[in-house]
Structure formats: structure tokens, C-alpha cells
């Protein structure tokens, strides 16, 4: 078990283009599972590979526990990595794949057998130990890949999109499996990379949001969902995505309002020098009923999507298209005119220019 710490880590692959990673400072406390999330190309794998030692940072340092590992080769960092591609040895049986790293460490065969069998049992792959990887399903292969990391009992687990090749149902199951492995007895410090916001929300103790090689926000899943620090983070988390309205910030009856086509929303906060704001409201925060003095907006339904437990209403408003998530028995149908209630305490206000939260 060990804290993982990166200080001022940057990576340039070539002198010309934008850095893949810019002055990243990040501490993952001992035993935590941190998820690095962001769109494709934002620098997630680069970060992971730098922690693993497979890639050299252009600047900055990496610590595992108290040790500066920046110049230590990957094999001596006591980490185990799980890849999207599984990367199993095709000519070896499942047993030999699981035993491989322990044999390199010159563990004794009896101990190897015990550890492999224990890990195989815990991942429900103990019936396949004699098979070659090609005789396994994708989900079973990924279990072997995870087992191969777990069996080594490393200081740090690194996961690079390990579930991306699996179908939705298996992904859900393996997500629970990874959470269970992390939570089981020794809480190994883990860094998990994904582009999937749901994986990030469900697995993380701490989420690190990356965009274009720059950290956008670090926080618990709930902090990130409730208080996104900028418009990018606000729009990245949540299904369906947050609605955004562009508005002028204007003074009305001693109160600052976000005013736009068809709406005027009291802001209840200072916006300083900013005169254009972006108002964010999540689909589940818009309501079809409300107090008589609550701010409202007129809209008409152009599409009703039944999800089972809930209904999504795609509506046209003077401010543009919005999505409303409401209970399954809501009466609204295509063509209906509605009054939408926009509770002031559910609004997220961003400076329209900088896109930062106000």
C-alpha cells in the first residue's frame, strides 16, 4: 500500500505540438481509488504510462510512497497494470498467465499454486485454469488480465480502460468486481482511467477530470456532480447532459437576473465584471410543477422518450432545445405546451467567456 504523487508532470511527444500533459499535480492517498476521466486524447493513458514508467515525463516527478520513482524502471516500481487489450500470453494456459509474474519473482511453486487458485476462485475463473486465452470469452479474458494483476499483490494498480471491450451488461458486472477487489482486505492504491463518466462516478473515491492535458477538477463524485467548476465538467457528467442557456446578467428590482429569450432567472449571487453568463440546469432539475413565484419558461414538447422508470421530454423553448427528465406517468405528449419551472437553487452559473463557475 502506498500513496501515489505526481508533481509538475508534463509530457511533450514532440517539440511542435501541444503538450499531451501539462504541469499535473496529483496525490492519490494510500488505499484510494482515483479515476482519471476525460475525452479521448486528453492525456489519460499518458499519465498512467508515466506512473508505470513506460513513458518518461518531460518535466516533473513521480513518487510511490516516499520513493521518488521518476528514474526507476517499470519492473522495480511494484505496480501492476491492466489494459483494455487484456495483453495475455496467448500460448500459455490461464494458470501460467496468472503464475507468470510470481515465477519471475522466484516464488516457490507451492505458494504460486495457492495464490493463483485463490485469485482464480475469487474471480470465478478457477474452472478455466488449463485453457488457453483463445478458448475464453472476452469477459473471462478480462478477468484473467485482472487476476494477473491481483495475484502479484502490488503497491499500486493501474487500469487503462479495462472494460471498454466488453458489452454493457458485462461492463456493469466487471465494474462491481473491480470495486470489490479494491475494497477487499488490503485496499491497494489504484489509478483507473476511463472515458466513461458512469464508470468514473460509480468506482471513484476521487475523480480527476482531464481535458487537453489539463486538470479541470478534482473531487468526490458528488462534489463534481453538484458543483462542477466549469462548463466542460458540468456538461461531461450526467445523462442526459446538463442544459445550457446563454443570458445577459442584468440588474432588476435590486436583484441580479440571468435574462434571455423567454426567461429571467434571479441569480442570487454576484457575478462581478461578467455581463454574459451561461446558465446550466440538469434535466432532472427542471420541473413541470412549482411554486407560483418560481421562475418559469414556456416550452412545447417535440419528442417524448419513455425510459421505463422515467420519461425524457425534449422540448422547444424560446431559449432553444432543452431536455427534461421526469416521472414515467407525466401526462405531457408531443405537441403539448408546458410551463417549465427552473428552481433557482438548482441553477449552475458560468461566466460565458471563461466558462468558469461563478
Ligand X SMILES: Nc1ncnc2c1ncn2[C@@H]1O[C@H](COP(=O)(O)OP(=O)(O)O)[C@@H](O)[C@H]1O
Site for Mg ion, rule CB under 5 A: 45
Beta-sheet strand order (sheet of 156-160) = 79-83, 156-160, 189-194, 33-37, 206-211, 214-219
DSSP, res 230: B
Question: Minimal distance in Å, beta carbon 207 to Mg ion?
Answer: 17
**Binding track over 12-31 against ligand X, x by CB under 6 A:** -x------x-----------
Pick the closer one to ligand X by CB: 208 or 242: 208
Return the number of the residue (41 or 262) whose C-beta is nearest ligand X. 41
Closer residue to ligand X in complex, CB, 4/98: 4
CB 191 within 8 A of CB 34: yes
Query: Quick check: 43 binds ligand X (CB under 6 A)?
Result: yes
143 binds ligand X (CB under 6 A): no
230 binds ligand X (CB under 6 A): no
Contacts for 126 with CB less than 8 Å, ≥ 6 apart:
117, 120
CA distance 227 to 342: 17
At closest approach, how far in Å is the CB of 154 from ligand X?
21
Q: Which contiguous run of DSSP H or E holds residue 162? A: none
3-class DSSP assignment, residue 341: strand
What is the smallest separation between the CB atom of 52 and Mg ion, expressed in angstroms? Answer: 13
Query: What DSSP string runs through 24-68?
Result: EEEEE-TT-EEEEE-STTSSHHHHHHHHHTSS--SEEEEEETTEE
Segment near ligand X (CB under 6 A), from 35-43, 179-187, 236-244, 294-302? 35-43
Report phi then psi at 121, rounded to 5: -65, -45
Binding partner of residue 238 among Mg ion, ligand X, none, CB cut-off 5 to 8 Å per kind: none
- CB closer to ligand X out of 11 and 231: 11
Q: Does 56 bind ligand X (CB under 6 A)?
A: no
Q: Three-state SS for 350?
A: strand
CB neighbour list of residue 250: distance below 8 Å, 6 or more residues apart: 256, 257, 259
- Among residues 15, 40, 169, 331, which is the contact residue for ligand X, using CB under 6 A? 40
Nearer of residues 192 and 350 to Mg ion, judged by Cβ? 192
Could you identify the residue written with the cell 507468470?
100
Nearest approach in angstroms of CB 356 to ligand X is 23
The residues of the shown chain that bind ligand X, judged by CB under 6 A, are 13, 20, 40-46
Amino acid at each position: 500500500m502506498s500513496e501515489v504523487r505526481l508533481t509538475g508532470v508534463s509530457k511533450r511527444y514532440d517539440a511542435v505540438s501541444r503538450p499531451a500533459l501539462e504541469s499535473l499535480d496529483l496525490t492519490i492517498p494510500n488505499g484510494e481509488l482515483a479515476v482519471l476521466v476525460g475525452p479521448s486524447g486528453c492525456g489519460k493513458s499518458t499519465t498512467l504510462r508515466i506512473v508505470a514508467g513506460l513513458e518518461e515525463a518531460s518535466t516533473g516527478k513521480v513518487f510511490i510512497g516516499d520513493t521518488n520513482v521518476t528514474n526507476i524502471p517499470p519492473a522495480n516500481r511494484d505496480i501492476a497494470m491492466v489494459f483494455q487489450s487484456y495483453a495475455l500470453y496467448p500460448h500459455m494456459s490461464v494458470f501460467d498467465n496468472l503464475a507468470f509474474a510470481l515465477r519471475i519473482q522466484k516464488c516457490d511453486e507451492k505458494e504460486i499454486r495457492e495464490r493463483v487458485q485463490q485469485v482464480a476462485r475469487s474471480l470465478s475463473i478457477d474452472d478455466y485454469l488449463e485453457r488457453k486465452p483463445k478458448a475464453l470469452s472476452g469477459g473471462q479474458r478480462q478477468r484473467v488480465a485482472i487476476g494477473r494483476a491481483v495475484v502479484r499483490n502490488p503497491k499500486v494498480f493501474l487500469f487503462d480502460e479495462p472494460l471498454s471491450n466488453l458489452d454493457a451488461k458485462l461492463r456493469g458486472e466487471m465494474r462491481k468486481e473491480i470495486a470489490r477487489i479494491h475494497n477487499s482486505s488490503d485496499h491497494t492504491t489504484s489509478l483507473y482511467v476511463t472515458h466513461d463518466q458512469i464508470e468514473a462516478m460509480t468506482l471513484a473515491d476521487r475523480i480527476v477530470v482531464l481535458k487537453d492535458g489539463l486538470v479541470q477538477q478534482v473531487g468526490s463524485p458528488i462534489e463534481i456532480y453538484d458543483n462542477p467548476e466549469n462548463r466542460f465538467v458540468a456538461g461531461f457528467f450526467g445523462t442526459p447532459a446538463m442544459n445550457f442557456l446563454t443570458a445577459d446578467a442584468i440588474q432588476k428590482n435590486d436583484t441580479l437576473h440571468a435574462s434571455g429569450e423567454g426567461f429571467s432567472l434571479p441569480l442570487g449571487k454576484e457575478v462581478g465584471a461578467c455581463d454574459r453568463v451561461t446558465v446550466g440546469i440538469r434535466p432532472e432539475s427542471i420541473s413541470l410543477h412549482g411554486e407560483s413565484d418560481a421562475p418559469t419558461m414556456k416550452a412545447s414538447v417535440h419528442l417524448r422518450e419513455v425510459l421505463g422508470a422515467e420519461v425524457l421530454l425534449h422540448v422547444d423553448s424560446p431559449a432553444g432545445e432543452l431536455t427534461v427528465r421526469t416521472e414515467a406517468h407525466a401526462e405531457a405528449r408531443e405537441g403539448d405546451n408546458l410551463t417549465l419551472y427552473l428552481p433557482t437553487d438548482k441553477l449552475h452559473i458560468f461566466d460565458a467567456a471563461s466558462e468558469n463557475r461563478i
